[in-house]
Amino acid sequence: MKRNTWQREAVRAALADNDGFVSAQALHASLREGGSSIGLATVYRALADLAEEGEADSLQQDGEALYRACTPGSHHHHLICRGCGLTVEIEADAVEQWARDVAAAHGFTRPEHVVDVFGLCAACAELQANPSPS
């Protein structure tokens, strides 16, 4: 059976404290800075578990896995700012349906999908237009 260790709780909490996506490395570093003595491998293992149990979303970026807390069972997608990492949760019922349909139309079963939209948020777009403001 799955045991309840303070390490797992720490990872769960650190993930919840964070608004955007975090890498395992970053999460481990921040836990260490917070005085925890948790090991890196443990963070990896905990995150993998959380993701499998549906308590965390994960996505791949630049060859590293990023995680984010999410309410169990709910399925949603993200709008992510390329500049500052700001993440907005988005509803995508229409896309869910479309994914199921397109999979079925080609004889595919057990469909899952990855849908993420990247862009520049208003603030970052502003920054890019005026690199040195005021």
Partner DNA sequence: TTATCTGCAAAGCATTTGCAATAGT
Partner DNA sequence: ACTATTGCAAATGCTTTGCAGATAA
Binding site for a second copy (CB under 8 A): 60-61, 63, 65, 79, 81-82, 88, 90, 92, 94-95, 98-99, 102-103, 106-122, 125
- Separation CA 126–CA 103 (nearest Å): 40
Binding span for DNA by CB under 7 A among 18-26, 87-95, 109-117, 120-128: 18-26
In the complex, the smallest distance separating the C-beta of residue 78 from DNA, rounded to whole angstroms, is: 17
Residue closest to 57 by CA, chosen among 46, 42, 72, 41: 72
* Residue 40 makes contact with DNA by CB under 7 A: yes
Q: Which is nearer to DNA, 69 or 121 (CB)?
A: 69
Helix (H, G, I), strand (E, B) or coil at 93: helix
Which residues sit at the interface with DNA, rule CB under 7 A? 1-8, 23-25, 37-42, 44-46, 48, 63-65
